[in-house]
Structure 1
Amino acid sequence: MFTLFRENLRIAFDSIKSQLLRTILTVLIISIGIFALVGILTFIKAFENTLNSDFASIGSNTLTIQRYEFTNQRRGDRKIINPVIGYRDVKEFVDAYNYPTAQTAISFTGTARAEVKYDNEKTDPEVRVVGVNENFLQNSGLKLDKGRNFTPFDISNNTRVCVLGSDFYKNLFKDDNPIGKTISIRGTKFNVIAILEEKGSTFGNNQDLRVLIPIQVARTMFTQPNINYNVSVMVDDPEFLDNAEEEAILTFRNIRKLSPIEENNFGIGRSDDLVNQIATITGALGAAAWVISLITIFGSCIALVNIMLVSVTERTREIGVRKALGAKKSTIASQFLFEAILIGQFGGLFGIFLGISIGYIIAISFDLVFTVPWNAIIAATSITFIIAILSGLFPAIKAAKLDPIESLRYE
């Protein structure tokens, strides 16, 4: 049995080498479909990994009040224009919102182009400065690598202290312990009280190149009009989040003085809703990848059937000789089936290699967390095997049914 298997394999390789150009073209057609499938699924997997790692620390017990809903800024054919969430709004919300076990964080981005100085060293003007209160770190899922969090005393007394992203530790301070050091932002000096754990970049946005300062101090430094503030609420138990959300909506509607018949002129977002919406988007992209690849694979299936039928026609006399020497129908059929399977697997392997390579390059370019998409690889391998079986079955049966006498007469 093993000897027959090895002989069929050898014959299949010899046939592939004798039809090298047609085989290469068929392999390329198959690999294009597999490449589209594996490449897109690799990118989607890297996209999901990055988002999951970003949102995992936030947990499912946090909600945010924002200017717009996450989904869109249109209602029908009309563009929604909500007022900004100003400081008076967030201050009234903090004072009025008293849901049990909930803690509220407020923040705003003062600038994304600050220059930070330390002694004779300074950064490029690309540092994000964020004004926060004492609950910001916990509500955002941020953890400290060194130092301590802001205290209510720091916030209420406008203490000039700051928390730095991890990039400052490596670059500005040259791995020297920054705790207790003094930095300067726009001429204002801050004492460093902590360094954040490394978060990495997401879509080119470096989350480790930011400075957190007390919100009242930030308000004195950044006075541009129409600053939009962010509000987040975290509860101890995710089971209480629905009730906390209802209370937050009611409180903010009262602050905005909305009547019962008026719609919200602000948005509510939940960390788990965002993850679910992203999962829906990536699922749609995955389905599109399957459709595109299956259309291409269908074309490669037709190409493989054609090349195998041509092979049967060209080797009609050879088939007659083998049958005359005693070869069984099953032996002849298996020889052609082996050839189709080999061509299919060559195309699948080449497509998998191209797909993973392109997916890796795209993931690195967008600062995504790359992992080997084993599900896509297994799916691609299975698909190419099924294609090879289906494509090679008809030519193999046709070759097995050839009459040996007529085949020997074939010129």
Structure 2
Amino acid sequence: MASSIDISSIVPRRFLDSNDDIIEGLHIHKECGGSSPMQAYRTIKDGVRFFKCPSCKFENNKTITLQQDLSFYKAKQEFFRTLMPRDKELLDKYFLQKKEFEKLIEQQQEEKELKEQKMAKKEAKMNKQAEEGYNFANRAFIRGNYDEAFEICTIALRLSCKNAETNKKLLQLLYKALTERTNKHQKDMDGLKEMHAGNLNPKAISLFNRLVIRLETNMGLDYKNIASFCSKLRNNPQAVVNFEMSLYHFNIAFDLKNNDYSLLKNLVETFQSLAEIYLRIDSHSRAIEYYQKAIMLDEEFLKNDLNALEEKDDTKKRLNNSYLDMCDAYMKLSDAFILKDDYFQGLQLLKKCREIIEKIDEKFVFEELLGTTKMLLDLKFSLLEEVIKEEDTSSEEK
């Protein structure tokens, strides 16, 4: 049976020309009746390799033997005529993609380096401005202008300077300026008391109260700003001390004017900040305590129908975020009890957390954050209930 294989496809490539045609003068042993590839064997004559054909006595260096029907040659033809072009196409595609990928990596690296250079320049600029701010504030302090020194230090610390030494100097100067402002504040308070001592005139009392509210509010803001800087620098003990001082002054002012929204907002934000710090240092019970105080003030404010709509919306947003943050505190406190094998108390805290979540108005919180909290709470519930069930079963068997 005649073979359909193209002879040129199974001839070694060294016997093909540039057009993949068989070279002129090539003797293919198969054409003279041989059937085995070994019937044409290699021999050396005068240092030149020859192929000798025993059937036709043909002997030169252009003699080869082929057996077209062998499966090897069919596979070889399939590879070179079908698979090889496809593999070459894939290989070319791979190298093209590899080149494009390397170019992309190079571009990303260049962008990263450029971004780092910009950040470095920005940080250097911030550091320089913070250092200049310290120098201005220090000169103001030396002149006895403590208010100006305090304000400049406050502005300089907001620059997010990366130089720890400069930040340290600014905080130290800020404390010194605050001390002098506090002393002045105390003198002003003493003067007010002397001025209005024994004066029961309602106008005089009202004036005295307004002055006290202004002084105490300013002091509260001073301590709140310092506490915020300390919290940002992860100096938790100093942050707590200054937030507590801030609460002290805000409370004095708020007792005299409890319908002042800005005072309410400052009090609530200070309670929230203290809760966040206690949550950060795993003091979950204290965190819950301060969240509850913040929530109580905002809930009380919303009961008054006379308050402005804009203020109410702002309060609702703050209140609902306090609910959500307190849920986080309850879940972490629950985890602490579970680690102590107190599953019952852990479950009670999760139930409390579920009660709080039901109060949340989805319009005033991030939907993704609320969804994640609910999913995590449900997971903790199911796992803990399963553990308690296994514990009860084990106890009954004993």
TM-score w.r.t. the length of structure 2 is 0.20
More strand by share: 1
Q: State the structure with more CA Rg.
A: 2
The structure whose RCO (Cα within 8 Å, separation 6+) is larger is 1
TM-score w.r.t. the length of structure 1 is 0.19
More helix by share: 2
